[in-house]
């Protein structure tokens, strides 16, 4: 199979599906073969754009022998069901974030991938940016000395039109949460990847502006396994959106990452670096997304298949951000109580937000 390409299929041709089709077209080692959406016009449009067939049933896509790997780009709360079907068809899986919205469903998809001997990779494209990798390397090799603080601020703006663009958006049933489970899961994954695991959390989640079921604003205090403390903030209700900022501080140095730009690098014994953030990416516009991260994910899964190794973000890794978000929701439901991780049990009751301000639009 040395020079063969991995035949690629994409399930879900909504907002993010086109990023996968574009990435699969450009990725070395992959060849886009087919796209699928239950809404025919979406599948047709995307298939025609790439000159590949389209289908309206996942089973039809999974029956194809020329497809070895599939991107799952359906609403978050459907990922496990669709990924398990892909695994049972003997095909490898690249699953959009979050892997799913409950740990039980995520564990089922991890088990299905293992049982069917296929690879399961999660999408967290912020990890693929050279700047993110450089920050992680500095932290992990001890350049910052003893780690003191690891913070992540994710201040986004999402419009009424955005929430109205899909009836699954901002629902407990299919989005599984709001500013954290949907938009914020990226920065939460990045912070955990840079700082390591969190051992306990205390949080408040609120719905301050939008008339949605889930939180539009959340704040959490974190304690990491390495002893450092940190703060997580996430919102989709501020104007303007500032995007995702990660700040890490040790007793020998500090680094700030604004989007994909390192805006401060001040480490004892090194020349300080500063920069202006270049652009704010998806801070206010969810479509302002480059496809290079998705391309890297597709190339990584192709290499993992060819070399029979784990992908860079295997299921167990992509699960961590969801576990922390579940702990944050649990803490908020219990009035800010301290919740220890790993989570001893999963409470899937929807959040209850006492200080609701409704509606503003
Ligand atoms: N990585 C990122 O930056 C990023 C950005 C946006 C969305 N996402 C994730 O991608 C996923 C999809 O989000 P979206 O914004 O594209 O949603 P969307 O609603 O725009 O698209 C989802 C599509 O899935 C289709 N679908 C539903 N059930 C299906 C089925 N059984 N078979 C085939 N198609 C089916 C829908 O018709 C719809 O077109 C979510 O999990 C979201 O969190 C990731």
**Ligand 1, closest atom to CA 124?**
1
Mean pLDDT of 123-143: 97
Residues 189, 277, single domain; the answer is yes
Judge whether residue 361 has pLDDT over 50. no
Nearest CA to ligand 1 atom 25: 12
CB atoms within 10 A of CB 186: 22
Mean pLDDT of the chain: 93
Residues 145, 251, single domain; the answer is yes
C-alpha distance from residue 220 to each of 30, 328, 335 (Å): 40, 7, 12
- Residue at 96 is within a domain: yes
Task: Retrieve residue 211's tokens.
Answer: 């008339």
Residues 223, 293, single domain; the answer is no
Q: Which CATH number goes with the domain that contains 266?
A: 3.30.360.10
Measured at the CA of 285, the angle between CA 351 and CA 76, to 5 degrees, comes to 40
Q: What's residue 284's pLDDT?
A: 76
- pLDDT tens-digit profile of 11-27? 999 999 999 999 999 99
- Compute the half-sphere exposure of residue 3: CA atoms within 13 Å on the CB side of its CA: 0
Instruction: Give, rounded to a whole angstrom, the gap between the first and last alpha carbons of the chain.
Output: 56
Residues 120, 71, single domain; the answer is yes
Predicted confidence band of residue 354 (pLDDT cuts 50, 70, 90) = low
Judge whether residue 129 has pLDDT over 60. yes
Q: What's residue 1's pLDDT?
A: 52
What percentage of the chain exceeds 90 in pLDDT?
85
Tell me which of 20, 34, 75 to substitute to probe ligand 1's pocket, judged by most ligand atoms within 8 Å of the beta carbon: 75
280 within 8 A of 244, measured Cβ to Cβ = no
- pLDDT tens-digit profile of 145-185? 999 999 999 999 999 899 999 999 999 999 999 999 999 99
How far apart CA 222 and CA 355 sit, in angstroms, is: 23
* 245 Cβ inside 6 Å of ligand 1: no
- pLDDT tens-digit profile of 190-239? 999 999 999 999 999 999 988 888 999 999 999 999 999 999 999 999 99
Residue 138 φ then ψ, to 5°: -65, -45
Identify the CA nearest to 39 among candidates 56, 16, 51, 54. Answer: 56
Residues 102, 58, single domain; the answer is yes
How many domains in the chain?
A: 2
Q: What is the CA radius of gyration of the chain?
A: 20
Domain range spanning residue 14? 6-125+289-313
Judge whether residue 290 has pLDDT over 90. no
Residues 162, 296, single domain; the answer is no
């Amino acid at each position: 199979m040395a020079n063969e390409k991995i035949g690629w299929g994409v399930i879900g041709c909504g907002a993010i599906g086109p990023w996968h089709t574009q990435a699969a077209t450009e990725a070395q080692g992959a060849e886009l073969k087919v796209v699928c959406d239950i809404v025919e016009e979406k599948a047709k449009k995307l298939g025609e754009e790439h000159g590949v067939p389209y289908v309206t049933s996942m089973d039809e896509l999974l029956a194809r022998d020329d497809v070895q790997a599939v991107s799952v780009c359906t609403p978050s709360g459907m990922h496990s069901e669709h990924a398990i079907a892909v695994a049972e068809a003997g095909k490898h899986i690249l699953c959009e974030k979050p892997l799913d919205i409950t740990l039980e469903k995520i564990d089922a998809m991890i088990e299905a991938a293992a049982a069917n001997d296929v690879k399961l990779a999660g999408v967290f494209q912020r990890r693929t940016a050279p700047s993110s990798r450089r920050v992680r390397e500095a932290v992990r090799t001890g350049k910052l000395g003893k780690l003191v603080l690891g913070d992540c601020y994710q201040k986004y703006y999402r419009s009424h039109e955005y929430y109205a663009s899909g009836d699954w958006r901002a629902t407990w049933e299919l989005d599984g949460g709001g500013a954290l489970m949907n938009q914020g899961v990226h920065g939460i994954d990045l912070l955990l990847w840079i700082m390591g695991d969190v051992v306990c959390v205390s949080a408040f989640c609120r719905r301050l502006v939008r008339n949605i079921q889930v939180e539009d604003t959340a704040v959490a205090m974190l304690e990491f396994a390495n002893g450092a403390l940190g703060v997580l903030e996430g919102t989709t209700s501020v104007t303007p959106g500032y995007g995702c900022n990660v700040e890490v501080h040790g007793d020998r140095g500090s680094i700030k990452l604004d989007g994909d730009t390192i805006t401060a690098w001040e480490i004892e014994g090194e020349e300080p670096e500063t920069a202006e953030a270049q652009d704010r990416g998806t801070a206010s516009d969810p479509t302002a997304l480059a496809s290079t991260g998705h391309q890297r994910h597709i190339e990584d899964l192709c290499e993992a298949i060819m070399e029979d190794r784990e992908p860079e973000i295997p299921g167990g890794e992509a699960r961590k951000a969801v576990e922390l978000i579940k702990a944050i929701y649990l803490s908020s439901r219990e009035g800010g109580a301290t919740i220890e991780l790993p989570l001893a049990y999963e409470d899937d009751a929807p959040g209850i937000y006492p200080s609701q301000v409704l509606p503003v639009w």
